[in-house]
Amino acid sequence: MVWGAPPVINDDAMAALAAKAAKAVLGEDKVITKLPAPNMGGEDFAYYLQKLPGAFMFLSSSNPEKGTDVSHHNPKFDVDEDVLWEGAAVFTAIVEEFFAS
């Protein structure tokens, strides 16, 4: 029996491309490329990464002033919809960077 998804392992080149695009859109200070420890959350996206090179990213909507700083899987979890455009803009920049390279 298999319990959960396999580990998410980003492709180094795709992660670098995504980080470059994100920094171009959001600025260097808003993009984190290294975590102090591995994130052990499960994610079905891992199955895609077993077939094709890619990179998994997080888009934070944590804003204490709006009460959107509660962790996932909590009944008080909410999303700050004011940041959703940032995710769309970053994904657009990733596509543009991918086709330009």
Give the pLDDT confidence of 4-17 residue by residue, as tens digits.
888 899 999 999 99
**Do the beta carbons of residue 59 and residue 83 sit within 8 Å?**
yes
Q: Is the pLDDT of residue 1 over 80?
A: no
What is the rounded average pLDDT of the residues 30-53? 90
Give the model confidence (pLDDT) of 74-92 as tens digits: 999 999 999 999 999 999 9
pLDDT confidence of residue 28:
97
pLDDT confidence of residue 67:
94
Q: Is the pLDDT of residue 3 over 80?
A: no
Question: 22 or 73: whose pLDDT is higher?
Answer: 22
**Do the beta carbons of residue 15 and residue 55 sit within 8 Å?**
yes
Of 55, 59, 57, 56, the C-alpha closest to 86 is: 59
Instruction: State how far the Cα of 6 lies from the Cα of 98, in Å rounded to an integer.
Output: 26
**Do the beta carbons of residue 14 and residue 55 sit within 8 Å?**
yes
Instruction: State how far the Cα of 74 lies from the Cα of 81, in Å rounded to an integer.
Output: 18
pLDDT confidence of residue 37:
87
Residue 78 is encoded by which pair of tokens? 């909410």
Assign 3-class secondary structure to 37-73: CCCCCCCCHHHHHHHCCCCCCCCCCCCHHHCCCCCCC
Q: What angle do CA 97, 87, 76 make, to 5 degrees?
A: 160
Where are the domains positioned within the chain?
12-100
Q: What is the pTM of this model?
A: 0.86
